[in-house]
Amino acid sequence: MIGFEKIGQDHSKGKINWRLVDENGADHRHKFFQDSIQENSVTVRRRRVVDIAAVADVGEARNLLASGWEYKTSYPATISNIPHYILVKRQ
């Protein structure tokens, strides 16, 4: 069973700080994070999305892919069913 334990309170902001604990009272960590940290001793760094593009032209989508953008999805967004390609740029 997993629960929360109050570890403090910031009176100036009115905020309570909590930590996630398991049934033994130890800090609970998700297995995904434990496994990735053990496999990769280097700090895990996530790249965040800094820009999103929705383009209708395949050529423009290819240019964005060539310049480092990542393809996410496509969908028919208009009445005339012109496909829109959704790409993201990560930092």
Mean pLDDT, residues 2-17: 81
pLDDT of residue 11: 84
Asked which of 1-5, 6-10, 54-58 is least confident by mean pLDDT, the reply is 1-5
Extents of the domains making up the chain: 3-39, 49-90
68's torsion region: left (phi>0), alpha (psi -120 to 50) or beta? Answer: left
C-alpha to C-alpha distance for 35 and 17, rounded to whole angstroms: 26
Percent of the chain whose predicted confidence (pLDDT) is above 90 = 9
Residues 6+ apart with CB under 8 A from 79: none
Whether this prediction's pTM lies above 0.85 is answered by no
- The pLDDT tens digits of the residues spanning 37-75 come to 555 555 556 778 888 888 888 899 899 999 999 988 877
